[in-house]
Structures are given as C-alpha cells and as structure tokens.
Amino acid sequence: MGNETTWKRLLNYEMSGVPLYLYVPMAVIVVLAMATGSLGTDMLSTMGMLFVIGIFFMWLGKKLPIWNKWIGGGSMMAIMFPSFMVYMGWLPETYVESATVFYDGVSFLDVYLGLLMVGGLLSVDRDTLLKTLKRCGPVFVGTILIGGLFGLGAGMLVGMTPGDILSYYVLPNLGGGNGAGAVPMSEIFERSAQPSGRDSAFLDR
C-alpha cells in the first residue's frame, strides 16, 4: 500500500508545472547529449536545453528555504545560477553561444512577450476590456506618475541624477521588471547611446 502511494505521488508530482515522468527522461537525454557533444545547436535543441535548465532551477528556487522567501524564489534562481554556470565554464561554449544567438540573434524574448501581450488582449471580451480601461485607466496612469515621483525623490536623496534614476530604476520597473523592462530598455540605451558610451544619453540630465 505504501509503495503504491509513493508511485502515485511520483506520477502526480510536477516540477514547475511539468510532470516528473516527462521531465526526467527529457533531462537525461539533454544532459547526456550535451556531455557527449551530440546535442545540436539548432533552435529546437537550444529550446530543449533551456527548458531543462530553466525548469530545474525554477523548481529548486521555489523549494530552497530563505531563497524562496527573501532572494527571489524560482525566477531569480533560473536567472542567476545558469549565468553563474556560464561564468564558471560549466556549460560547453558551443551551447552557450547557441543560447546567446537564440535570445539576441533570433530575439525570442521579444517574440514571446509580443505573443503573450497580444494573446492576452485578444482573449479578453471587448466590452469587458473597455469597461476595465474606463474604470482602471486613471488608476494605472496615477500609479505610474506617483511611482515615478517617489522613485525620483528617493534617488535624488542619495545623490543620483534624474536621468540615471529614470533610466536605471524607474522606467525598467514600471515597464515590467526584467523581461519587459530592463532587457529591452538596455537595448534601447545601447542603440541610442552617444559615442561617449553613456547608456542613458537619450535622457536630458
């Protein structure tokens, strides 16, 4: 009876929404393929590698005490530890390069965010969306303005310039944090930077 219950738990157990009986075989295949150098660098292989790594560290970050409550949980673990693995050279350079191309060259993050936002808007009933905008629109605008003012005030108290506060803290956070804020905005800074190399040169200091 006890063994049967254990098997049922294993079959029903999920790692970040993925059933364990699906994740483990896929992870074994991907890890062995990476170790032997037989994993491809095409889009499908790269997505499989990122899926395996991301799911594991997302699950680990949610389970680790202290980390899951105070340091950012699964999302932060999935961002920080793979970066640390690259820094330490624990991942083959070939697959690091394929992941870089996948994000920077193919711009998968931009495509994903676009599909996510457009899909979310299209899935909402039109009348409901309009009613929500009428009621919540002023609240959204007010929140952005007040949040920006508080951010400027706090930054200026510690001696930062308005340009640095807006470009490095206020706008990325109001834009959605990492994927929808900090990453695309850093790309905008890079493209619009002056020869002096200042990332926030497009803002009048």
Q: What angle do CA 105, 77, 121 make, to 5 degrees?
A: 60
Res 203 pLDDT > 50:
no
Q: Give me the helices (H) in 64-107, please.
A: 73-88, 93-100
pLDDT tens digits, 74-93: 988 998 999 999 999 999 99
CB < 8 Å & 24+ apart, contacts of 178-184: 178/79, 179/109, 179/113, 180/113, 183/109, 184/110
Res 109 pLDDT > 50:
yes
Closest alpha carbon to 30 in 8, 61, 55, 12: 55
Distance, C-alpha 68 to centroid of its chain: 16
- Yes or no: say if 99 and 46 are a contact pair by the CB < 8 Å rule: yes
Distance, C-alpha 85 to centroid of its chain: 17
Domain ranges for the chain, please list them.
Answer: 2-106, 114-192
Res 202 pLDDT > 50:
no
